[in-house]
Structure 1
């Protein structure tokens, strides 16, 4: 089973005693802060839950899977997510 955004908003609203609109606004604000912080190169850590940080990827040579031709992949950025202790304990049960 997958929890989608509307399921998540409904659960947050129920657990926090908020309306769905308030929960959706809070989730949207969290998403905006997360994206803005990572775009600036700042790490985001929610103790016990997760940490997210922007990581630099070096330029490298890859291979086109259809033709086998070598291609140049430019340097760029990615996101590294690490599970916190509470999250690890929850999925380890």
Structure 2
């Protein structure tokens, strides 16, 4: 990158998709595709179940997902301009943890994207418990609709 070049080379921002995440988990933990998919799906199902029960989800070194109750408020239909009452609802808010914030700040100051951890070392400092899909509680495996 040239010294004068802007920090952002393009407006196109790549996304980490669930499929890519499954592939990366499989590679780093030595799992086949089905096992990695079960692990990732199970993780998200457990997160969703906890959040639907009103529990916060806190991931050490990353951040927390919290449920917030938004009250009813006045709004306006953008097409007609008519005033409407927006119903109260629950929303999920993410707050980055201090470790994650520090990493993002350091990477921004270095003007380079976050480098991935070397294969096999991404989880070196974290306790990991791997359970097969059948070990998840039945209620956590049920799809939730709100």
Decide which structure has greater helix share: 1
Q: List alignment gaps of at least 5 residues for structure 2.
A: 1-13, 108-146
Which residue matches 1:40? 53
Superposed CA offset, 1:8-62 (max 9, x none): 1111111112112111101111111111101111101011112011110100000
Which residue matches 1:55? 68
Structure 1 position 23 matched with structure 2 position 23: no
Q: 2:77 aligns with which of 49, 52, 64?
A: 64
Q: List alignment gaps of at least 5 residues for structure 1.
A: none
Normalised to the residue count of structure 2, the TM-score between the two structures is: 0.60
Normalised to the residue count of structure 1, the TM-score between the two structures is: 0.91
Higher-Rg structure is 2
Decide which structure has greater strand share: 1
Distance 1:71 1:54 in 2: 25
Distance 1:7 1:46 in 2: 20
Number of equivalences: 93
